[in-house]
Amino acid sequence: MSNLNTEMIEKYRNNFLKEVTANVEEGEWVKMCMQCGVCSGSCPFGPHWDHPPQELFMMIRAGKREEVLTSSSMWMCTSCYNCIVRCPRGLPITHIMHGLAHYADRLGMAPKEQPTMKFAHKFWDNIVKNGRVNELKLSLGVYFMNGIAEGIKTSLKMQAVGLGMYKAKRLNPMEFFGGHTVKDKSGMQAIIEKAKEIEEAKIKKFEG
Amino acid sequence: MAKKEYSFYPGCSSQKGASAANYMVSVDAMCEELDVQLNEIPDWNCCAASIGYAGGGELPRLAMSARNLALSEQANPGQDVVATCAACWLATKETQERLHEDDGLMEETNQALSAAGLNVKADQNVRHMVEVLIEDFGYDELGKHVKRPLEGIKIAGYVGCQTNRPFGIDGESYENPKYLDKLVETMGAEPIESYEKKVQCCGGALAFSEQDKSHELIKGIIEAAYDGGADMIVTPCPLCQANVELYQDHINAKYNTKFKMPVVYYSTLMSVAYGKDAKQAGLNGQIIKAKQLEEIAGK
Amino acid sequence: MSDEKKIGTYICKGCGIGDRINTSQMATIAERECKSNVTKEHDFLCSAEGVKMIQDDIDNDGVNHVAIVACSRRAKTEAFNLENVAITRGNIREGVLWVRPDTDEAQETTQEMAEDYTRMAVFEVGAMNIPQTSGQSEGRKNLLVVGGGVSGMTAAVEAAKAGYASTLVEKTGSLGGAAAKAWKRIPEHTPYADPEDTGVAELIAAVEASDKIEVHLNSTITKTSGAPGRFSADITTESGSTTTENFGAIIQTSGYTEYDANQLPHLGYGKSKNVVTQAELDAMALEANGGPIKNADGKEVQSVVFIQCAGQRSEEEGHLPYCSGHCCLTSIKQAMYFKDNNPDIDTTVMFSDLRTPGAGGEDFYRSGQDKGVIFTKGIASEVTDSGGGCTVKFKDLILDEETTADADLVVLATGQVANAGVDIDEVPQDEPGQWEVSVDSILNMDYRQGKDVPQLRHGFNDSHFICFPYETRRTGIYAAGPVRRPMDMLQAKEDATGAALKAIQAAENADLGRAAHPRSGDLSFPSFRKEGCTQCKRCTVECPFGAIDEDEERYPLFNEARCRRCGTCMGACPVRVISFENYSVDTVGNQIKNVEMPDEFDEKPRILVLACENDAYPALDMAAMKGNEYSAFARVIPIRCLGSTNLIWVTDALNSGYDGVVLMGCQKGENYQCHFVKGSEIANVRMSKVDDTLQSLSLEPERVATYEVAITDIERAPQLINDMAETIEKIGMSPFKF
């Protein structure tokens, strides 16, 4: 269990709703859900969620901290924003899902083998490093994220796609050795570091 | 019409050798015809897209987009920021709006930006290229430039998610936006107005991490286009284009289908209709060739 | 005014009538066949000039019975609003011109139609008398308001604002009712975010300050008699002293009693002291006076669960089957009692469907959520005492699991039960001479049909929740507030204001001898020929409004101002002695008899259509406006209500050679649309006996058809007539043409 997690459990005791309100992006909206279920019915990955948004909101209110934070559900969000535009209460559901996923990850509670989590991390690392996406490295990274054997299998499967893209000048193998970056890498990284710092300070400071 | 200038945010996928490089090619051709000058934001960075959230918290992600806005304000003051990628547009627009609304957030963001000696005002409008076309030109004006109408081609307008939600194009509905159909019609082709999956998600970034689930969605998108009698699909989003075009062989293998549906950008259609050749229109970037467009472009 | 009838027939040629129909032929018929004394044609009868022509004949020529043969009686009512005469309308425009094609083949039958409608109008008006008021009214305009809660006080205050005096009778020793026992009310103003002061003190102050309101506390009504404009009520105090006062109209605002939670032992009521009802919680909050609320163990409540729909919206024996409407908002309000005092108190509202009606309902719900009230979609199955608190066992409907919640206090949202007095369908009126005061009754009426206002559904005093709010089936007596249907305070105040205006209207109408809704303005009233009456009591029993009492000799006693003029009594009377001046067995009978009956071999059947003037007749008019054609063989007679249909009309029609009879009334039954509540239902029972008549005449049963027709049936109504024409074609002409 991460230190932050223990700290947060200590701080909010059994009031998970309060914890979410304080620490999760757009979390203050969770209490406003009226349980109509339109979000769940609108989600393209709906059938694949263990707990669709409506249920996650109810679980938060019911104090099911462990179950929510270790859930794979919010990692199923494709960011299609369908729930947001349909929610009759105007809840920014997509953002709350991202926020919950991030918070779970930050506390070290996200399911270890969640593929989208791993991909999202690779993506973030990739852009923090160069400032721009290195599509080849990202793709290869994703294919190998489940281990070498799995990676080779996926790579072979994706070979035709890659070849097609290469032929269409939409994939550059040279990217592996560098590729697109921003010029002011250090400046950009400094910005991200600073932003992180501000956020960390806030979560610790907040008195529930 | 006088030359129009915009502060341009191309985004990672538009770069040379990247997955939407052909999009950029056709956008350039289209803009040349419309006398639009795109002033690229110097040293722009990734917007963190919709998948950056695991590693990046709220503020770091906003700060990345804010850096782009700050650079744009410096280099291209007084111009609207224009993005061609749906995700770039969404992330940048969201940042701009939230900074505008929330003084606290603005302060924190500028605190972060100051680490690189930057400052943001977030006072430039952030727009998608489609908005520029519809609002600054209008369908009538866009139609006037047509030299080779795309006669006889039936096209399903696949709007997808992120140009449509949560912001959307002004005056369009979330459930049935019409702007792609209108653009298709303006270019002389025939829109499939009954296209059922026009706002269906393709899986987005999860096409990488949740392939099977995404392929199921993509299959529906292509199937509905065939059901509507479409010759090809047109889209305004690089990720939509890639997801729907690239995985057709996989889907065919898995579901025993025979999909071979070209997926093009609105700018591809417009470049061809505006008389550009196949290369200028980015047609050689098609993995599934859009033969009807190639024929017209070759005339 | 001379007693002699002088009939004037005025035929309009406007709106194309003159182009397609030979009006001079109609005039000749009026003069020669119908003995019209004055007969005139006019190109534009509803013009000022045309109306003046008629008025001149009335003023100078002594015309006192007027047949206007022009358009439907529903058109040009302002223009043809002639006073002090008997008047009818022959419907040539909507009834003939617009439902027939303008073709050469159709010309003959169209002309015949127009001629028949002329005959019908002149013979009808000939059988009429000029309506005059009964003079029964005493012209009282002051109101009796029974019940001194928010509804009653509001009614009295609103009436006073309009200049009308009222007497407010309250059973208990103080004004305010249920609302006076509440700490706060559901908000009535934007932003609908917080509970508001009840406003009861201000309302009581307004009542006490008004010189138009007289208050009787500790008093009940021990007898009500009379009619609008001349009600008499005995007001009896707890100690037994009675005063009798007279009133123009009555408003019943006797409110509700909270459902008896002792019937909910599974929810812990009566078993745990920490299970209370909403009313009890409000009393606790009132006592806490803004401070922390303590439970029965003296502990400051730190967690509270509200169980919605406790014993409500349930088909279980002894439960209320309906939703009481206010309880969701009340629970939100009460959860805020805790949250506003201390945001850390856990408040959970357990609901199956959250209903927050009214303009601010949704906002108040959001405000509750914003304040941190937890809303859990779940159904509580059991509440047990946990020593110092309670445990609620419930099924979470979202997470689909059986689970529990602990709380220092559990609040049951039980519903409202109307204080509606005795159910007259269950408790019949005492026999004359044996009448006694009932302690269970609110109004103790001496009406023949029973002591209280009839109940509509679930024990509420109403006659139609949607179409006629506040109207009861007792003219001049209006129900307002939760006695009419379950509601909150704001709705009760709106209700009371509406009822006050209706009561004032009833008193004013009674003074002028005019009918109330829906035949407002009608001056005619029923009377009966005593010599012919067999004292069968059908009229007193069937009158939907309890307007008819019995005198000492057991003859019917008509109370004019209680009557809505539907004619159900007239339809009921087996010896046909009941009539109105302008509507009687003869006015309709004359129309039926004077239609020209072609002989059997003419291939021109005749279909009698008796159409309710409230829905069916307007539907046919509108069908005509749309140009929906129907058979030229139909002769349509508007009737006040299907309930006024006397079987003799049908028998006479069949006897005199009509080939078919179509009766069109309003929807009956539980979701009735009848403007006279029971009229169409009673008529239906009566018509079930028509088969005997048909059998005795050896006629096919298909020749008589009864339908429910709605005002929107503009395609269907003409089709029903055409269906009958088709039926006749199939079964052949009536053999009774002589």
Give me the numbers of helices (H) and strands (E) for chain C, helices first please. 18, 29
Q: Which of C130, C153, C180 is the last residue of a domain?
A: C130
Distance CA C40, CA C63 (A): 12
- Residue A174 — pLDDT band, cuts 50, 70, 90? low
Local structure of C249: helix, strand or coil: strand
Q: Is residue B208, in this structure, part of any structural domain at all?
A: yes
Nearest CA in chain A to B23: A170
Fold (topology level) of A8-112: Fumarate Reductase Iron-sulfur Protein; Chain B, domain 2 (1.10.1060)
Mutation target to probe the C interface, by most C beta carbons within 10 A, among A12, A34, A38, A73 is A34
Cβ atoms C641, C118 nearer than 8 A = no
Judge if B154 and B121 occupy the same domain: no
Query: Are A102 and B58 in contact (CB < 8 Å)?
Result: yes
Chain A residues with beta carbon closer than 8 angstroms to that of C396: 58, 62
Q: What does the pLDDT look like over C706-717, one tens digit per residue?
A: 999 999 999 999
How many domains are there within chain B? Answer: 2
Read off φ and ψ for residue C597, nearest 5 degrees: -105, 105
Distance CA C44, CA C11 (A): 9
- Both tokens assigned to C611: 């159409």
Give yes or no for residue A141 having a pLDDT over 70.
no
Judge if B152 and B274 occupy the same domain: yes
Query: Are C369 and A58 in contact (CB < 8 Å)?
Result: no
Of the CA atoms within 13 Å of residue C645, those in its CB half-sphere come to 36
Query: Are A25 and B204 in contact (CB < 8 Å)?
Result: no
- Chain A neighbours, 3+ Cβ pairs < 8 A: B, C
User: What local confidence, expressed as pLDDT, does residue C248 receive?
Assistant: 98
Residue A127 has a CB neighbour count (10 Å cut-off) of 27
Task: Supply the DSSP symbol for C583.
Answer: B
Chain A residues with beta carbon closer than 8 angstroms to that of B20: 170
User: What local confidence, expressed as pLDDT, does residue A180 receive?
Assistant: 86
Judge if C698 and C720 occupy the same domain: yes
Q: Which of C105, C130, C155 is the last residue of a domain?
A: C130
- Residue A132 — pLDDT band, cuts 50, 70, 90? very high
- For chain C, percent of residues with pLDDT exceeding 90: 92
Nearest CA in chain B to A135: B18
Domain residue limits, chain A: 8-112, 115-195
- Chain B neighbours, 3+ Cβ pairs < 8 A: A
Q: Is residue C208, in this structure, part of any structural domain at all?
A: yes
Mutation target to probe the C interface, by most C beta carbons within 10 A, among A13, A16, A31 is A31
Among the partner-chain residues A17, A34, A62, the one whose CB lies closest to the CB of C399 is: A62
Give B 21-80 residues with CB within 8 A of chain A.
21-22, 43-46, 48-60, 62-64, 67
Q: Is residue B101, in this structure, part of any structural domain at all?
A: yes
Q: Is residue B137, in this structure, part of any structural domain at all?
A: no
Cβ atoms C578, C569 nearer than 8 A = yes
Among the partner-chain residues B20, B112, B199, the one whose CB lies closest to the CB of A198 is: B112
Q: What does the pLDDT look like over A30-74, one tens digit per residue?
A: 999 999 999 999 999 999 999 999 999 999 999 999 999 999 999
Q: What does the pLDDT look like over C75-124, one tens digit per residue?
A: 999 999 999 999 999 999 999 999 999 999 999 999 999 999 999 999 99
* Interface B:C, ≥3 CB–CB pairs < 8 Å: no
CA dihedral (C590, C592, C596, C597) positive or negative: negative
Angstrom distances, CA of residue B144 to CA of B151, B180, B188, C643: 16, 17, 11, 72
Give yes or no for residue C293 having a pLDDT over 70.
yes
Q: Is residue C137, in this structure, part of any structural domain at all?
A: no
Chain C contact present for A43, CB below 8 A:
no
Chain A contact present for B206, CB below 8 A:
yes
Q: What does the pLDDT look like over C536-585, one tens digit per residue?
A: 999 999 999 999 999 888 999 999 999 999 999 999 999 999 999 999 99
Q: Is residue B141, in this structure, part of any structural domain at all?
A: no
Distance CA B58, CA A199 (A): 8
- Say which CATH number the domain at B88 has: 1.20.1050.140
User: What local confidence, expressed as pLDDT, does residue A208 receive?
Assistant: 42
- For chain C, percent of residues with pLDDT exceeding 70: 99
Query: Are B166 and A48 in contact (CB < 8 Å)?
Result: no
Q: Is residue C520, in this structure, part of any structural domain at all?
A: no
Give yes or no for residue C415 having a pLDDT over 50.
yes
Q: Show the domain range for B245.
A: 148-298
Judge if C42 and C100 occupy the same domain: yes
Chain B residues with beta carbon closer than 8 angstroms to that of A113: none
CA dihedral (A155, A159, A165, A166) positive or negative: positive
Of the CA atoms within 13 Å of residue C712, those in its CB half-sphere come to 2
Q: Is residue B24, in this structure, part of any structural domain at all?
A: yes
Average pLDDT over residues C488-514: 96
What is the pTM (predicted TM-score) of this model? Answer: 0.90
Read off φ and ψ for residue C37, nearest 5 degrees: -75, -40
- Residue C1 — pLDDT band, cuts 50, 70, 90? very low
Smallest CA-to-CA distance from C424 within C408, C406, C446 is with C446
Chain C residues with beta carbon closer than 8 angstroms to that of A17: 372, 374
- Supply the DSSP string of C118-134, one letter for each residue: HHHHHHHHHT-------
User: What local confidence, expressed as pLDDT, does residue B2 receive?
Assistant: 84
Q: Is residue B280, in this structure, part of any structural domain at all?
A: yes
Nearest CA in chain C to A54: C398
Average pLDDT over residues C667-686: 92
User: What local confidence, expressed as pLDDT, does residue A148 receive?
Assistant: 62
Q: Show the domain range for C170.
A: 143-255+419-512
Judge if C603 and C738 occupy the same domain: yes
Chain A contact present for B246, CB below 8 A:
yes
ipTM reported for the complex surpasses 0.90: yes
Distance CA C639, CA B74 (A): 84
Let me know if C449 is exposed, middle or buried by CB neighbors in 10 A (0-12, 13-18, 19+).
Answer: buried
Judge if B168 and B249 occupy the same domain: yes
- Residue A5 — pLDDT band, cuts 50, 70, 90? confident
Q: What does the pLDDT look like over B233-264, one tens digit per residue?
A: 999 999 999 999 999 999 999 999 999 999 99
Chain C contact present for A54, CB below 8 A:
yes
Judge if C635 and C602 occupy the same domain: yes
Query: Are C374 and A55 in contact (CB < 8 Å)?
Result: no
Q: Is residue B278, in this structure, part of any structural domain at all?
A: yes
How many domains are there within chain C? Answer: 5
Distance CA B258, CA A99 (A): 40
- Say which CATH number the domain at B226 has: 3.40.50.11810
Chain C residues with beta carbon closer than 8 angstroms to that of A16: none
Nearest CA in chain A to B67: A188
Query: Are A135 and B20 in contact (CB < 8 Å)?
Result: no
Query: Are B58 and A117 in contact (CB < 8 Å)?
Result: no
Judge if C651 and C737 occupy the same domain: yes
Judge if B103 and B40 occupy the same domain: yes
Greater confidence (C624 vs A151) lies with C624
Q: What does the pLDDT look like over A99-126, one tens digit per residue?
A: 999 999 999 999 999 999 999 999 999 9
Q: What does the pLDDT look like over C335-356, one tens digit per residue?
A: 999 999 999 999 999 999 999 9
Angstrom distances, CA of residue B77 to CA of B36, B89, B115, C538, C679: 17, 18, 22, 92, 79
* Omega within 30 of 0 (cis) for the link into C518: yes
Judge if B101 and B224 occupy the same domain: no
Q: Which of C416, C442, C468 is the last residue of a domain?
A: C416
Query: Are A61 and C372 in contact (CB < 8 Å)?
Result: no
- Residue B34 — pLDDT band, cuts 50, 70, 90? very high
